[in-house]
């Protein structure tokens, strides 16, 4: 897991949705957000075994997160729109 990584939720109430990793808590837990229902300020704590990586990283958002810059929910939502619009 890394900051800005796009993940797919395999379990839980949010099953089937795409999120971005916005914080790494420890090796088994991360915080995820989508900028719409789950805002960055209120990121969801999620076990990594319940997530599936897409292999894609949102480079601009990852860079901002690493540098401690503010990431707006709108830009996160916009970046994830392609994934959520094309899910089966």
**Across 41-56, average pLDDT:** 93
Nearest CA to 31 out of 70, 3, 64 is that of 3
Rounded distance, CA 8 to CA 84, Å?
A: 10
> Which pLDDT score, from 0 to 100, does residue 87 have?
65
Mean pLDDT (the chain) is: 90
Confidence tier at 1 by pLDDT (50, 70, 90): confident
CB 53 within 8 A of CB 10: no
At residue 19, the 3 state secondary structure works out as: strand
> Global pTM?
0.87
- Region 51-78: mean pLDDT is 92
Nearest Cα neighbor of 84 from 3, 8, 4 is: 8
Q: What percentage of the chain has pLDDT greater than the value 90?
A: 70
């Amino acid at each position: 897991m890394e900051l800005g990584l796009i993940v797919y939720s395999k379990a839980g109430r949010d099953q089937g949705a795409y999120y971005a990793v916005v914080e790494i808590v420890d090796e088994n837990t991360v915080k995820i957000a989508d900028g719409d229902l789950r805002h960055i300020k209120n990121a969801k704590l999620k076990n990594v075994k319940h997530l599936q990586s897409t292999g894609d990283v949102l480079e601009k958002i990852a860079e901002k997160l690493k540098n401690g810059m503010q990431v707006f929910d709108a830009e996160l939502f916009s970046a994830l729109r392609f994934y959520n619009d094309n899910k089966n």
